[in-house]
Chain A
């Protein structure tokens, strides 16, 4: 079964992740402020993409509600950011997103395929307009100010959230729940007849995925300083994790991580070099990626690796 090979590969990945973490944690010491800010936004997208993959990867339920969960975190921070200390604000943002996902999950996770996709996307618009209406008609405000937080603080909070997320994702993937999630993606009926409480499992993992998006939103809120519902609930945030995960490769845990990192960097690079054509170039890269890398960058790398190792064997 190649268990030994699998463990040594896992150990390698783990070591690599640790090395990257140490380099990242020390980044504010040696890198410029611009780099730290860029890294923060990479961490943010990586967190969203990995959270998204946590649920949608194995189950195949394509959720477009990421912007709603991320936005719920941002908006929580906008409401209570002045009253509570930052860690509490982040915990609250995470909890609000979690509860929202549990609620939405219990309503919609019976839907399948395109109906689920459409509903989750509708949720983003619904929340945006509901909060807009609420702020205008009930509280009479149109924007809120979030207390500014130092860039390095945001960077470190994002890093911590990502580490917690990766640990959670790793634990779930290698536990019986990961196995159950995968079986749900393969065949829901067979899973339920094998004793899996499919509905509860889906709702809880959907909640956990939203929890981290909410935490990310709450800690990133400080970056915008001024927040209104259209800023908090940006529909683009719903599509980015899907594209990033596909770009990187959905199956392994580090696929969306690498995808999101390269994607965000690429976006920054193109936007500064080719401000007029960057969307065009970006679109072309995306189309090529989907056409020629069905399993993402990771899949491509594995194929190249296999081919070269096969050639090596053929030579000997």
Chain B
């Protein structure tokens, strides 16, 4: 049974189909890439999975259980965590408290204060922010704010993690560190779906990739298959014309 399964997932914005009849299956333990040009509907699909938006039709199942119609906090407690394309850290709160919140509220079974603090400390070490625990989140660099969001999401004890453009706006060194982080998250047994524009990251980290274009799925496969796909190349670079 796939960990996440979507059937005919559809959402309109006005008359425009942001996501249209998309089917997908994400297997336990894989890193699943979601790519496509701007406006393809990638973030909308994330919003539908995490219940920030409700689909117009279609079904989304997590571990075989229908999750459409639930509230974001319920989805989170079930084991699906996410980060945001434009970082949404709690700017004026210390780094530690940002993560502690996830540990306190995002879990199915509530934790004692001591256990939540221990978990928070461990996760901040995991994302390499252990030396910044008292710093207000707004004072971190963009790369570190993104890592903080990852730690906050991990604190909720997810089985599935949705990463929305974690590499966007990072320099090459930071991208490499972020790639290593995604791999070590996978090693923890957490399934990852990532939206990404940085091709180096996508090709190296993902086991399978799905390509969206104008809200519809146009391709799916391994990085090698996707990079060879004529359809995908057309979408990204335009149609080849023989001059």
> Taking beta carbons and an 8 Å cutoff, which residues of A are in contact with B?
1-2, 176, 179-180, 182-183, 186-187, 189-198
Contacts and interface: CB of A to CB of B under 8 A. Distances in A.
B24 interface: no
B101 interface: yes
A190 B84 contact: yes
B149 to A, nearest CB: 8
Nearest to A194: B102
5 contacts: A1-B133, A179-B104, A186-B91, A193-B72, A196-B105
A1 B18 CA distance: 45
A191 B97 CA distance: 12
A193 B81 CA distance: 7
B178 interface: no
A195 B105 contact: yes
Contacts of A194: 76, 81, 101-102, 105-106, 152-153, 155-156
Interface string B44-74: 0000001010000000000000000001110
A187 B88 contact: yes
A195 B102 CA distance: 7
B82 interface: yes
A192 B47 CA distance: 13
A2 B96 CA distance: 13
Contacts of B105: 176, 180, 194-196
B195 interface: no
B193 interface: no
Given A179-B101, A189-B52, A190-B88, A195 B133 contact: no
B89 interface: yes
A195 B88 contact: no
Contacts of A1: 94, 96, 133-134
Interface in B81-100: 81-82, 84, 88-94, 96-97, 100
Nearest to B88: A190
B183 interface: no
Contacts of B214: none
B90 A196 contact: no
Top 9 nearest A-B pairs (CB, nearest first) are A195-B106, A195-B105, A186-B90, A190-B88, A1-B134, A195-B76, A192-B72, A176-B104, A194-B102
A194 B92 CA distance: 17
Contacts of A176: 104-105, 113
A190 B73 CA distance: 10
Contacts of A198: 73
Contacts of A183: 90, 93, 101
B197 interface: no
Contacts of A180: 101, 104-105
For this complex, into which size category does the number of interface residues on chain B fall? 20 to 34
Contacts of A179: 97, 100-101, 104
Contacts of A197: 71, 73
B77 interface: yes
Nearest to B110: A176
Contacts of A191: 90, 101
B107 interface: yes
B84 to A, nearest CB: 7
B156 A195 contact: yes
Nearest to B76: A195
A176 B100 CA distance: 9
Contacts of B94: 1
Contacts of B88: 187, 189-190
Nearest to A191: B101
A197 B101 CA distance: 12
Interface centre among B102, B106, B134 (most CB of A within 10 A): B102
Contact of B50 (A2, A186, A193, A196): A193
Given A183-B93, A186-B91, A192 B73 contact: yes
Contacts of A193: 50, 52, 72-73, 75-76, 81-82
A176 B71 CA distance: 21
Nearest to B94: A1
Given A179-B104, A186-B92, A191-B90, 7 more contacts: A179-B97, A186-B93, A187-B89, A187-B90, A194-B101, A195-B156, A198-B73
Nearest to B97: A179
Nearest to B78: A195
A194 B156 CA distance: 7
Contacts of B76: 192-195
